[in-house]
Structure 1
């Protein structure tokens, strides 16, 4: 498996600033990738936010099946959480997130009044790995584009407060990642989903591991259907070599990039890289 590490300077700086701003925040919107809801959770988040209320947002819900969405709802429900499934690209599910965030206003201002303070909008922060859709979510909440958003990691590089309404202010923050990715299986999934920067990994190694992972998850048929090559008969590395020889003039890098982009753009269909753990 490819060794994957990525911790650019702007993320280190933004993390320090974010921890300072958290003192001013009333509620946390944690945005994860619906294709990898566990791997896209920052392991230090609980330590950072303490007992602040948290809303769990699983973005890119359009890229997983309806049945899997239901399974995740049940699994998170058993953990005492209610996930909000969204597709920030087209706005699906965003109204529910806005309503839940604004519902904190009464609680926040009752506490402020009891301390002799004037009421103010609820302050929320949007936290998550790079490229999980944080800025796109904010733009949908605003109903206009005010923060930079693109389908690649590392677009947002500094913190920015944005007023959503008279009841809600949001802090858009750059994606945060652990300074060291201890779990390399999770790191691989983040790389496949483009939730960390491309500088962190080798496309050919990640694409080969991607093929092996799909076989392990029983999703090999999507590769056979699209590329006319059966991954069950070979390793992921051999799949890259064979596909390059057949269709891409032995250009293995082009094959690797094509495989990853086909997945990221949804051309392989509703393919998830994680499934809910079995509940005992």
Structure 2
């Protein structure tokens, strides 16, 4: 029996994507926000087509979820590709001021062109684009220095497009998370599920948790400051050894959760998402 693919494309996202495309001609700068744990999987394949020749600011959010060594590797990797990445923790505000400056700087030339045509300057218009639950609303609240958009640690909170004036120099368009209508890359879909960057109706907790254990045990040591097997043993009182992710999930369920595999799976995913297991990247930069 084939395992059903992870797919998620609720109606509000389809509607938001259509509205977003209609608004993009009014935008000067695009802030693309990605999840630091999975910066490749949270890159929308259509975004470069949408942005075209507009200025783009790359924001890698959830800085607190990866190690300093991984941040350095990703920063270098993006520079090799000709992109400068701004690493932020929107919850605490780390790196957000630099993002605001980058957005304003990108818009300076727009007002210079307006001035050359005898027109008055106007605020730079920026849009925040990214997958659901990567921290777009939290970033906007930090840029505004007050809570004006709802922000929560679950996908699908923002459902409407709205313009927000940050200052006399910057306006932001807050857009719902966008996601490809079909997730052809199921490895990426799995990572989205692990990181809670996709609706939980799209996946089975037990399958995703077992795959999560398999995935992190195959990662190189640099993704965290400790061996993954040691982190798992410290948290669940059981060393994974040569066990598959599925076997480990069931063994932990028997040991600490009275055989409740579903509860164990949910707990493992929650532990990762809340950083209880430590700073773990699920991707490494391409060599």
Determine helix, strand or coil for the equivalent of 2:276. Answer: coil
> Is residue 222 of structure 2 the alignment partner of residue 220 of structure 1?
no
**1:166-213 Cα distance to aligned partner (Å, 9 max, x none):** 100000000000000010001111110001110110001000000000
- Which residue of the partner structure matches residue 83 of structure 1? 85
The 5 A counterparts of 1:1-280 are 3-218=5-220, 219-278=228-287
Distance in 2, matches of 1:221 and 1:187, equals 27
CA shift, 1:232, in A, is: 2.9
**1:139-158 Cα distance to aligned partner (Å, 9 max, x none):** 00000000000000000001
For the aligned residues, what is the CA RMSD?
1.1
Would the aligned equivalents of 2:236 and 2:256 in 1 still touch at CA under 8 Å?
Answer: no
Of 229-238 and 247-256, the range deviating more from structure 2 = 229-238
CA shift, 1:2, in A, is: 6.2
TM, length-normalised to structure 1: 0.97
Aligned residue pairs total 278
Would the aligned equivalents of 1:121 and 1:169 in 2 still touch at CA under 8 Å?
Answer: yes
Unaligned regions of 5+ residues in structure 2, if any? 221-227
Would the aligned equivalents of 1:2 and 1:202 in 2 still touch at CA under 8 Å?
Answer: no
Unaligned regions of 5+ residues in structure 1, if any? none
